[in-house]
Amino acid sequence: MKVISLFSGAGGLDLGFSLAGHEIVWANDFDEYAVQTYEKNFNLFNIHKVVRGDIVEYLNQDEKFLKKDIPDADIVIGGFPCQGFSIANVNRNMNDERNYLYLQVLKMIKLKNPKFVLLENVKGLENMEKGKVLSMIINDIENTGLGYTVYYDLLNALNYGVPQNRERVIIFAVRNDYKDQIKMPIKEVYDKKKPKKRLLVKPTHSINSKLKQKKNSIDIITEMFECKLKNKEFDLSKYFKDNTEYAYQTLRDTIYGLPEETNNPDCEILNHTSSKCKLVAKGSEKSKRVGNRPTDWDKHSPTIMGRGSGTGGPLIIPHPEYNRRMSVREVARIQTFPNNFEFLGSTSACYRQIGNAVPVLMAYNIGKIFPIKIEDFLK
């Protein structure tokens, strides 16, 4: 399918959809370094228009111009900025102006009337203002443009081969004139004895499974990316069996074997640079805070975050050896970016791009629920 991407960042969600076989036709982000990273990598296989700048200002232009400037697409995707919604933000509330950036999503929907909409946001969105915020967003989407039916679910990246505990709200909307024509990727669940329909993204990994993958997630996603660059088909069935759940990936599966030394200009590994922010004493009260908690080789990572101090240091998690903070490449691997996906900008800017991204392998599994050709979705 053809995809319009909002708040694209470095392209985690877009890359996942691309690897699943979809074509990005238009994208936007305001972060200069994120756009540079995006163009550096996507121009290798999927050249399309990327608008760098404030989406509010862009969408305030003449409607006729916008309809011509933005290609038609089957789906609009995006992870609208989440800082105001995040459970990490103890002062979150609807007065945070960043919360209203989702209104730009509504403008795009009204402008292009896509058949589908797929949005990602933090877990905190689900319970903010006792659920009123999520209900408001769903209601707004349902009444935008030609009208939509909206479903949502809370997914954890761990369940899709990502070595990271990262829970995210996924909102899925289908245009009403297509609702009765398509094979809906939804499941029926029961919440307080009331049936609800939610988006179906079948897990590939489980906390109860002890079955190891034939190849770790990073090597698989890198192979997928290399096939994409060479325009070759990739057969995922070589590594995963249908209807089989595998054990969670760990930090040992993900970053073990990378050079202990970082910030070496002669290192051939892309982005193996790290924050110079010192670690706090292990076992101290500060070491219990987000960004300072020790990590374990044989466990998965806590959530990789995009915010920190001016240097990006305090919220960059420690290396399992507790001798430094994770490098840019290490957190990129935890977010399942391919090894040959290059990040541009300062170390702090790279950390921010990665922390704000949707894990690529999770995005790939979401993208797989949609057929490459819309005709294949019809009943």
Give the model confidence (pLDDT) of 353-371 as tens digits: 999 999 999 999 999 998 8
pLDDT score recorded for residue 374: 82
Residue 225: CA count within 13 A, CB half-sphere: 22
* Separation of alpha carbons 360 and 229, rounded Å: 16
Q: What percent of the chain has pLDDT over 70?
A: 91
280 vs 90, residue with greater confidence? 280
| Mean pLDDT within 270-275 | 95
| Mean pLDDT within 214-241 | 95
Asked if the model's pLDDT at residue 82 lies above 60, the reply is no
Asked if the model's pLDDT at residue 41 lies above 90, the reply is yes
pLDDT score recorded for residue 63: 95
Please identify which residue in the block is written with the tokens 């990129």.
332
β-strand pairing of 194-199 with 186-191? antiparallel
- pLDDT tens, 291-340? 888 999 999 999 998 865 444 444 899 999 999 999 999 999 999 999 99
pLDDT score recorded for residue 195: 59
Please identify which residue in the block is written with the tokens 């990602």.
120
pLDDT score recorded for residue 196: 67
CA-wise closest residue to 275 among 305, 312, 301, 310: 312
Confidence of residue 378 (pLDDT cuts 50, 70, 90): confident
Confidence of residue 7 (pLDDT cuts 50, 70, 90): very high
pTM, rounded to two decimals: 0.93
Is the torsion defined by CA of 329, 334, 335, 340 positive or negative? positive
Q: Does domain 2-208+361-374 have CATH number 3.40.50.150?
A: yes
pLDDT score recorded for residue 92: 47
pLDDT score recorded for residue 309: 47
Domain residue limits, the chain = 2-208+361-374
E strand residue ranges, 221-320: none
Active site residues: 82
Confidence of residue 193 (pLDDT cuts 50, 70, 90): low
Please identify which residue in the block is written with the tokens 């890359």.
15
Backbone angles phi, psi at 374, to 5 degrees: -60, -30
- pLDDT tens, 87-113? 444 454 555 555 568 889 999 999 999
